[in-house]
Amino acid sequence: MSKTDKNQVPLLDLQAQYRSIKKEIDEVLSRVVESQYFILSPEVSALEKEISEYTDVSYAAGVASGTDAIILALKAAGIGPGDKVITTPFTFFATAESISVLGATPVFVDIEPGSFNINPDLIEELLRTSNIEDRKSIKAIIPVHLYGQCANMERIMDIAQKYGLKVIEDCAQAIGATRKGRKAGSFGTAGCLSFFPSKNLGGFGDGGMVVSADEAFIARVKRLRVHGSKEQYVHEEIGYNSRLDSLQAAILRVKLRKLDSWLDGRRVVAKRYDEALDGLPLRTPKVDDGNAHTYHQYTITTDKRDELMKCLNDKGIGARVYYPIPMHLQPCYKGMGYKAGSFPVSEDVSKKALSLPVYPELTGDKIEYIIDTVRGFFR
Ligand SMILES: *Cc1c(COP(=O)(O)O)cnc(C)c1O
């Protein structure tokens, strides 16, 4: 490999992935184009069945994006104006936004420093100490399985049961992740997947899916995605236009067959980083007991985050920050009464987190180049 090759290591290399499956993808693309059946075709139903098998959840509904999956799942769970939904401030904006677009209010609870996922002790404390009025308006919890490892779902489900709350899992980054052998998306009322191109299972555009063990719940999501109608031109409720298209479904069906081997490939890269970065003044990702991490991101924390990122970027390495501004400090949530210091762990991690390139095709010289560059920075 030439020097210029290894000096360009993107955060994710989707072209390499496409090259490895080009023949199969090109075949299904032409199959769908020949059929001229583009919306909610048998491809979509087939993908729904395959994803429900993959996630060990009985029913699934394809929708237009991961964001819509959360919105439609919240709506199907009965969330609306005046309701409150507990979630993490350390996530991609779509999690909190989905709550807000329904007229409900996100109630943030800080994360655990190890896993970066929502802290169940703090959820419990919030519910225990809130007044009756507030507690009554809290209707659901959205745990986010951040970077590809499950939140503490045993504790979260116990708390939800105790307080009568729905649980909508944001699995956008965590398809295939398991906790004590159970798949992400199989714990709560529903699980929400994203097929955004850069996710571990990504399409050639936007896409998403809701999975649930509750048949009636998925029937409602399927109604909501087509303008609130079950029968054409009969609208039982106000819905959305949020459908998964056949081209995406056909592509995703090809990729789903490779997913487990790709997740294994990510774990190999993560293991190499874990070993090679040990002993440096940074913290490598902590995997919670019982979790099989899927490394959507390999995220380290270090006090020298900004300097390290600049050094890596200058040397052609696509390291990036997920996420620099916690939700409670977003301009659009200014009026909510949160301030700097409200969620110290999230704020601290937002200043220290740095995601390194991780994907199955990241092998040999390229990963060693990244490791050498990180080591060189701290020397
Ligand atoms: C990507 C993502 C979403 C949104 O998914 P889209 O398909 O981009 O709408 C929601 N939550 C989290 C945690 C995500 O990473």
Convert the pLDDT of each residue in 246-281 to its tens digit: 999 999 999 999 999 999 999 999 999 999 999 999
In this structure, what token pair is assigned to residue 293? 């991490």
Of the chain, the percentage scoring pLDDT greater than 90 comes to 97
Q: How many CB atoms lie within 10 A of CB 13?
A: 18
In this structure, what token pair is assigned to residue 127? 């519910």
Distance 288 CA to ligand 1 centre (A): 22
> pLDDT tens, 292-344?
999 999 999 999 999 999 999 999 999 999 999 999 999 999 999 999 999 99
Could you report how far apart the first and last alpha carbons of the chain are, in Å?
A: 26
> Pick from 248, 245, 221: which is nearest to 57 by CA?
221
Asked if 176 and 141 touch (Cβ cutoff 8 Å), the reply is: no
Of the chain, the percentage scoring pLDDT greater than 70 comes to 98
Residue with tokens 């009026």: 335
Ligand 1 contact via 91 beta carbon (within 6 Å): yes
Asked if 170 and 142 touch (Cβ cutoff 8 Å), the reply is: yes
Q: For residue 7, is pLDDT > 80?
A: no
> Pick from 256, 259, 261: which is nearest to 43 by CA?
256
How confident is the model at residue 2, as a pLDDT? 44
CA-nearest residue, atom 1 of ligand 1: 172
Most informative mutation of 170, 195, 327 for ligand 1 (most atoms within 8 A of CB) = 170
Whether this prediction's pTM lies above 0.85 is answered by yes
> pLDDT tens, 200-215?
999 999 999 999 999 9
Ligand 1 contact via 66 beta carbon (within 6 Å): yes
Asked if 244 and 47 touch (Cβ cutoff 8 Å), the reply is: yes
> pLDDT tens, 10-41?
999 999 999 999 999 999 999 999 999 999 99
